[in-house]
Structure 1
Amino acid sequence: MKIISLFSGAGGLDLGLIQAGNTVIWANDIDKDAVATYKENIGDHIVCDDIKNIDISTLPDADVVVGGFPCQGFSQANRLRTLEDDRNQLYRFFYNTIKIKQPKFFIAENVKGILSLGKGEAIKQIVADFEAAGYITSVNLVNMANYGVPQTRQRVIIIGQRVDLGKELRFIFPQPTHSKSGELPKWVSIKEAIDHFPDPDKENNILNHIYSAYKVEYRNFTGHRKTDPDKPSPTVLARGNGKGGVCAIPHYNGKRRLTIRESASVQTFPEDFHFVGTMNSCYRQIGNAVPVLFARKLGDELMRLEKEENV
């Protein structure tokens, strides 16, 4: 399927969709480093600009629109002002793109916290908005570890399907492939994912295999807890540590933080995927991404739908 990607970042979601056989025909992000990373690894179809400067009518027609919109403006949960709230300009752009371009499907990714904003009123309004635009909308809370990603990353995936497509062509959300315990294969541990990498303090030719000098001090706080080698990684972070830096997850050896490359592997980026920018920028790009492996499962479902439609 032909895809428009909004808020693309370094391209984790896009890469997985492309690996499945789909085509991203237009993408956008405001972060120069993320766009440089995207261009080097994925393609030149990405536009580096503030999305507020883009005229939706100039976007190409596409089968699918994807992206993760910020949700600051939902915190007050004023259901009458969701689209009008100035803090929701990016959500409004995503919504208007869906409403104007009328793709067959849309995929939106967001943090788990969006479900509890305004005691659940915010997500109700989001679903109501998209249903009013002509879409059957489902909200799915996903633990990425259940899909073979070596990370207990919880995210909300909102799927929209244009109402006129009918019951015959229905997006089926991917079923888990792994579990913490049970009949499915066991969750992939962080050690399984990164233990093959050489010591970053010794000479090596691994891309982006450098790490933050931010000291490992264990506290009961996100990014400062011990990493268990036999379990999936905690969520790879994108936010700063209060001093302008990015708080990378501690390595399970307890001596250092994960390297950029190790963090990328936890997010299931290929090992030849090169991140561009400062160390902090690279960590942030990785932390903001959708795990490539999970994105490919969404892409596989889009490919199934395309084949069914063309039968």
Structure 2
Amino acid sequence: MDIVSLFSGAGGLDLGLINAGHKIVWANDIDRDSCLSYEKNIGSHIVHKDICEVKAEEIPDCDVVVGGFPCQGFSLANKLRHSDDDRNTLYRQFYRVINEKKPAYFLAENVRGILSLDNGNAIKQIVSDFTEAGYRVKYKAFNTADYGVPQSRVRVIIAGTRTDIPKMADFQFPEPTHDKSNWISVGKALKDIPEPEETSKLFNHVYSKYKVTNRNYTGHRKTDPNKPSPTILARGNGKGGVCAIQHPLNHRRMSVRESATVQTFPMNYDFVGSMGSMYRQVGNAVPIKFGEHLGLMLKQLELVLI
């Protein structure tokens, strides 16, 4: 399918969809480093521009629109797309693009907290908005460890199918391929990566010297080498900076390369920017392997659009 990607970041979800056989015809992000990483590794079809300044006619027609939008302002309004809260702007833009381009399907990725935001009213309003726009909407929380990702990362996928498409061709969520009995451990995922101080040709194998404290606090907990990694973070030290997850040996923080491996980026994916920027790009991404599973479900629906 032809896919338009909004809030693309460094391209985690897009690469997964490409691996599943789809074509990203247009992508967009406001972060310059993310766009440079995307262009270097995936393609020049990404546009570095504020989505608020992009007119619908600048975006090519497509079968699917995908993207993840921030949700910080949702609890402040019932009519989210009509709220004056600036933090809802990107939700309104996601809605605008889908409402104007009318793709057959859309997929939105978000944090688990969106389900409980404003006592559950935020997700209800999102479903209501896209139902009004002409879509059958469903949503579900997924732990990416259940899909072969060596990381416990819970994310919500909101999926829409345009109402003129037969119900038998609704987008279906992928079934898990793993469970606790065969989850891939972070120790196994990183076992062949040398220490950053050792000579290697690995890209982005630099790491934060932020102190390892082993406290029961986000970003400070010990990493169990026999379990999937804790969620790779985009932020985490309370001051807006990155707090990288501890290496499975708990002697230092994971490097950018190791964090990207946990996010199932290929080893030759070369990120652009400062160390902090690269950590954020990795932490904001959808794991490639999970993106592939979503893409394979879309693949089953291609015949509907012929």
Q: Same fold (TM over 0.5)?
A: yes
Partner-residue secondary structure (3-state), 1:75: helix
Match of 2:82 in 1: 83
1:42 aligns with 2:42: yes
Q: 2-side partners of 1:307 and 1:134: how far apart?
A: 21
Contact kept, 8 Å, 1:3 with 1:26, in 2: the verdict is yes
- Give the drift of 1:253: 1.3
What amino acid is aligned across from residue 150 of structure 2 in structure 1?
Answer: P
Contact kept, 8 Å, 1:209 with 1:259, in 2: the verdict is yes
Among candidates 189, 193, 197, match of residue 189 of structure 2: 193
- Give the drift of 1:309: 4.4
Match of 1:252 in 2: 248
Q: 1-side partners of 2:100 and 2:304: how far apart?
A: 25
Q: 2-side partners of 1:293 and 1:203: how far apart?
A: 29
Among candidates 259, 263, 267, match of residue 263 of structure 1: 259
1:223 aligns with 2:219: yes
From the superposition, tell whether residues 188 and 81 of structure 1 become closer, same or farther in structure 2 (CA, over 3 Å). closer
Cα deviation digits, residues 14-73 of structure 1 (max 9, x gap): 000001110001000011100000000000000001111111232110000000011122
Q: 1-side partners of 2:127 and 2:209: how far apart?
A: 43
Q: 1-side partners of 2:82 and 2:261: how far apart?
A: 37
Contact kept, 8 Å, 1:74 with 1:82, in 2: the verdict is no
Instruction: Give the TM-score, by structure 2 length.
Output: 0.97
Match of 2:148 in 1: 148
Instruction: Give the TM-score, by structure 1 length.
Output: 0.95
1:5 aligns with 2:5: yes
Q: 2-side partners of 1:308 and 1:104: how far apart?
A: 10
Contact kept, 8 Å, 2:80 with 2:125, in 1: the verdict is no
Match of 2:231 in 1: 235
Which stretches of structure 1, 4 residues or more, deviate above 2 A after TM superposition?
80-87, 242-245, 307-310
Cα deviation digits, residues 114-152 of structure 1 (max 9, x gap): 011111011000000000000000011000101110011
- Give the drift of 1:252: 1.8
Q: 2-side partners of 1:24 and 1:180: how far apart?
A: 33
Partner-residue secondary structure (3-state), 1:160: strand
Among candidates 258, 262, 272, match of residue 268 of structure 2: 272
Match of 1:107 in 2: 107
Contact kept, 8 Å, 1:169 with 1:309, in 2: the verdict is no
What amino acid is aligned across from residue 84 of structure 1 in structure 2?
Answer: S
Partner-residue secondary structure (3-state), 1:140: strand
- What CA RMSD, in Å, does the superposition of the two structures yield over aligned residues? 1.2
Gaps of 5+ in 1: none
Gaps of 5+ in 2: none
From the superposition, tell whether residues 246 and 81 of structure 1 become closer, same or farther in structure 2 (CA, over 3 Å). closer
Q: 1-side partners of 2:254 and 2:18: how far apart?
A: 27
From the superposition, tell whether residues 82 and 97 of structure 1 become closer, same or farther in structure 2 (CA, over 3 Å). closer
Match of 1:134 in 2: 134
Q: Percent identity?
A: 58
Q: 1-side partners of 2:193 and 2:288: how far apart?
A: 19
- Give the drift of 1:98: 0.8
Which one is further off, 44-53 or 167-176?
167-176
Partner-residue secondary structure (3-state), 1:126: helix
- Give the drift of 1:172: 1.5
Partner-residue secondary structure (3-state), 2:65: strand
Q: 2-side partners of 1:83 and 1:272: how far apart?
A: 43
What amino acid is aligned across from residue 85 of structure 1 in structure 2?
Answer: D
From the superposition, tell whether residues 309 and 4 of structure 1 become closer, same or farther in structure 2 (CA, over 3 Å). closer
- Give the drift of 1:240: 4.3
Among candidates 194, 198, 205, match of residue 201 of structure 2: 205
Contact kept, 8 Å, 1:13 with 1:289, in 2: the verdict is yes
